[in-house]
Amino acid sequence: MSSLCTLLGIQHPIIQAPMVGVSTPALAAAVSEAGGLGSLGLGASTPAQARELIAQTRALTDKPFNLNLFCHAPAHADAAREQAWLERLRPLFAEFGAEPPAQLREIYLSFLADPAMLEVLLELRPAVVSFHFGLPEVAWIARLKDAGIRLLACVTTAAEARLAEAAGVDALVAQGVEAGGHRGVFTPENGDTSLGTLALVRLLAQQSSLPIIAAGGIMDGAGIKAAQALGAAGVQLGTAFVLCPESAANADYRAALQGEKAYRTEITANISGRPARGLPNRLYGELGAALPDYPICYDAAKALHAAASAQGNHDFAAQWAGQGAPLARELPASELVATLVREMQQA
């Protein structure tokens, strides 16, 4: 058993990525029951919703699972920028006989500004908590560790890894540019070095004493073995689990992931206000307007998708996926974990 497995209390060094909108209590529990680490994305949840999701998951498994929090800099509202963006999207709304919203909202809080969420974690004491987009203050990290919670931080560069290690986390999720969904970059306004998974894992394995969890483009046992050969103690897979029946992905998302778009994923900030990789749609590409802050920007995309999907059009859906998307398999989560373990042993 690897040191990572011992640290997290799991059997196999396989983590299901905490995909907001896709991960469910059923998916997390199935992965944990199969010996991996299931995850719930709580980035868009209120403390009350988080409490309910944790209860649902614990009703399905007594094994460890991971709760993921978004640690982005809280949004700054800018009415002029937001109105300009809504005007840019107005013709798209008009195609469906709809008007853009009158104004945009910060649709969910950063964990950094949500002490009530911290209290829920301290009370319910999940086995593992992970951070995305940055880190909470060191005092919060210390309190979570004192509660016996193992902490993971997503990093995209060696510099971010040094910050996370200094803050006191237990392991690093090395997210390569191949990964689906939102880039975990701490300060996207300063650009993105766009390091690939294998290069990043090797860099971090050389500089850090913490266990490294490779994330981005890994879809099968051969990919897991490749990451381990470069120094990863484990792996985190997201896109690989989207087609599982336990995921919340809708029929259109599942069909798109099995179609030609899977071969040409792209990164855009136009949907949410932060760069994220997915199956390209009409919101990708240069739209010629300054974006509102994340997640205020997301409110516009969600409204547009709602207007379009009400008429059976899915051209504006956020369908996150990594570069390994064509390798996704339609298997129950427990069967997928067993398959990954078997492939890993054979590789």
| pLDDT tens digit sequence for 276-292 | 999 999 999 999 889 99
The CATH number of residue 30's host domain is 3.20.20.70
C-beta of residue 236 within 8 angstroms of C-beta of residue 214? yes
In the predicted structure, residue 2 carries a pLDDT above the cut 90: no
Looking at residue 237, its pLDDT comes to: 98
Give a yes or no: residue 31 inside a domain: yes
- Residue 333 maps to a domain: yes
Over range 53-57, report the average pLDDT: 98
pTM of the model: 0.98
List helix spans (H) across 184-315. Answer: 197-207, 221-229, 251-257, 296-309
Q: Quick one: pLDDT band at residue 1, thresholds 50, 70, 90? A: low
Q: What is the dihedral of CA 260, 261, 265, 267, to 10 degrees?
A: 160
* Domain range for 201: 3-74+109-249+325-346
Q: Is residue 265 part of a domain?
A: no
8 Å CB contact between 5 and 11: yes
Q: Tell me, yes or no, whether 205 lies in a domain.
A: yes
Quote the pLDDT of residue 14: 98
Using CA atoms, how far residue 100 sits from 107, 224, 287, 299, 302, in Å, is: 16, 44, 16, 10, 11
User: How high is the mean pLDDT of the chain?
Assistant: 97
Angle at 71 between CA 70 and CA 76, to 5 degrees: 105
Q: Which pLDDT value is given to residue 205? A: 97
Count Cβ atoms below 10 Å from residue 342 Cβ, excluding itself: 11
Q: Is residue 313 part of a domain?
A: no
φ, ψ of residue 175 in degrees (nearest 5)? -95, 110
Domain presence at residue 195: yes
In a domain, 70, yes or no: yes
* Residue 5 parent element (H or E): helix 3-8
Q: 213: helix, coil or strand? A: strand
97 lies in a domain?
no
pLDDT number for residue 40: 98
The total domain count for the chain is 1
